[in-house]
Amino acid sequence: MLPGIGTLIQDMLWCFCQMKGTIEFGSTEADIISTVEFNHTGELLATGDKGGRVVIFQREQESKNQVHRRGEYNVYSTFQSHEPEFDYLKSLEIEEKINKIRWLPQQNAAYFLLSTNDKTVKLWKVSERDKRPEGYNLKDEEGRLRDPSTITTLRVPVLRPMDLMVEATPRRVFANAHTYHINSISVNSDYETYMSADDLRINLWNFEITNQSFNIVDIKPANMEELTEVITAAEFHPHHCNTFVYSSSKGTIRLCDMRTSALCDRHTKFFEEPEDPSNRSFFSEIISSISDVKFSHSGRYIMTRDYLTVKVWDLNMENRPIETYQVHDYLRSKLCSLYENDCIFDKFECVWNGSDSVIMTGSYNNFFRMFDRNTKRDVTLEASRENSKPRAILKPRKVCVGGKRRKDEISVDSLDFSKKILHTAWHPSENIIAVAATNNLYIFQDKVN
């Protein structure tokens, strides 16, 4: 039996497929991957990095004679999306780091994606060209000028096939609408609009219009000293064009309905879990801050990631999540040192698999976690160079919590907190995952046969 997408995790073996990025030790800061995103068909995979570059990988057509090599992802196009800038009015440097990439639904033979840094969203077109015109009137084939007196007939250029060329062209630049740093962009299901969210505001844009956007959420208090929470992530509902959610640093999620009014400062639903008084500590507020929010593909659930857990909420139940998964609960005792080295502010993202039955999110030491929602089984895997032999099966990893460390276990104290997996992506319909580990991108697939 072929393991399908709904297969239980313990049956599913993940194997190494590819690793992208430099292998040499000591890469530059600019190479650190800052976002990963599959397009709607899964044929393309885009990454953005701190150097403002976007790299797009394309899945190769599966070939009959290489059965075990199932469609590898190879570089399709690389381009510089954002450049470092300086805001002279505010004396602020604007980093080129790509915060988010979102693909647009395909509308013609070209591909379109949105990329954003802290301030500016750009719409890019990635297109192919395989013909080029030939034949000039005033030049010969080598480019030498012809004697104009010898021109007795006119030549119309003809198009000849050439090697495939992939071009990325900026189509729109949506700038000057955000005072604070953009943390999310999300394309609406009406294919006509998208939103961009910063710390305090959410703006709604039309793809065709770059010089105006509508502010739909503004949580900036009149007096900034009264500021108690910020927007950490925002996303549109996958099917309902009028619905979106945004999460806050207080661990709450608000769902807004754009039908009811033009300004969505008042939410329609408010998701919040009552705090457990026994767990209360100095760090409670920091670790409850939501770093990512994602609608399930079905649109029925939302998933949120905070520092220690992933939670799944039913849109119909606001008072508590229906599922809570511990990502690395063993860090609870180490929050003090994580606070000191700033790790506690790391923004981990989370993703659904194609059928919403498994969720994946990252951790430290290049570990990433998967949770099967049906069986409640979970697994810890590692993205590492040591495992990067083709078709090598990923061994589940275990972190030992107190007591005696067994073989194959790693103790909490020896975890490498500089190796963190913040960004991951899951192919929309197959069991292929992309995991960004600092400056390397790992691609894993489930083992077939």
Partner 1 sequence: MAGAAGSVSGPGAAGGDGDDSLYPIAVLIDELRNEDVQLRLNSIKKLSTIALALGVERTRTELLPFLTDTIYDEDEVLLALAEQLGNFTGFVGGPDFAHCLLPPLESLATVEETVVRDKAVESLRHISQEHTPVALEAHFVPLVKRLASGDWFTSRTSACGLFSVCYPRASNAIKAEIRQHFRSLCSDDTPMVRRAAASKLGEFAKVLELESVKSEIVPLFTNLASDEQDSVRLLAVEACVSIAQILTQDDLETLVMPTLRQAAEDKSWRVRYMVADKFSELQKAVGPKITLSDLIPAFQNLLKDCEAEVRAAAAHKVKELCENLPIEGRETIIMNQILPYIKELVSDTNQHVKSALASVIMGLSTILGKENTVEHLLPLFLAQLKDECPEVRLNIISNLDCVNEVIGICQLSQSLLPAIVELAEDAKWRVRLAIIEYMPLLAGQLGVEFFDEKLNSLCMAWLVDHVYAIREAATNNLMKLVQKFGTEWAQNTIVPKVLVMANDPNYLHRMTTLFCINALSEACGQEITTKQMLPIVLKMAGDQVANVRFNVAKSLQKIGPILDTDALQGEVKPVLQKLGQDDDMDVKYFAQEAISVVAQRLRKLDFPDKDSEEPSTPGADKSCFLRPTGPGECAGKFLPRMISRQKETERLGWLPRRQ
State the residues that interact with partner 1 by CB under 8 A. Answer: 105-110, 112, 125, 127, 129, 131, 133, 136-139, 145-159, 171, 189-192, 208, 239-242, 258-262
Closest CB to partner 1 among residues 265, 275 = 265
The least distance separating partner 1 from the CB of residue 111, rounded to whole angstroms, comes to 10
Closest CB to partner 1 among residues 171, 385 = 171
The least distance separating partner 1 from the CB of residue 306, rounded to whole angstroms, comes to 33
Closest CB to partner 1 among residues 35, 243 = 243
Closest CB to partner 1 among residues 257, 378 = 257
Under 8 Å between Cβ of 287 and 329: no
Closest CB to partner 1 among residues 78, 137 = 137
Closest CB to partner 1 among residues 229, 257 = 257
The least distance separating partner 1 from the CB of residue 193, rounded to whole angstroms, comes to 8
Closest CB to partner 1 among residues 93, 192 = 192
Closest CA to 370 of 435, 417, 428, 414: 435
> Hunting for tokens 């999306």 — which residue is that?
81
Closest CB to partner 1 among residues 239, 385 = 239
The least distance separating partner 1 from the CB of residue 233, rounded to whole angstroms, comes to 24
The least distance separating partner 1 from the CB of residue 160, rounded to whole angstroms, comes to 10
The least distance separating partner 1 from the CB of residue 242, rounded to whole angstroms, comes to 6
- Identity of the residue numbered 144: R
Structure tokens that stand for 6 in this block: 């709904």
Closest CB to partner 1 among residues 240, 405 = 240
Alpha-carbon distance 236 to 192, whole Å?
Answer: 13
Kindly report the backbone phi and psi dihedral angles of residue 251, in degrees, each rounded to the nearest multiple of 5, phi listed first. Answer: 85, 15
The least distance separating partner 1 from the CB of residue 70, rounded to whole angstroms, comes to 25
Closest CB to partner 1 among residues 132, 320 = 132
The least distance separating partner 1 from the CB of residue 364, rounded to whole angstroms, comes to 42
The least distance separating partner 1 from the CB of residue 202, rounded to whole angstroms, comes to 17
Closest CB to partner 1 among residues 91, 108 = 108
Residues listed for the chain: 449
33-38: strand order across its sheet: 33-38, 44-49, 53-59, 73-80
The least distance separating partner 1 from the CB of residue 128, rounded to whole angstroms, comes to 10
Structure tokens that stand for 151 in this block: 């021109």
The least distance separating partner 1 from the CB of residue 178, rounded to whole angstroms, comes to 23
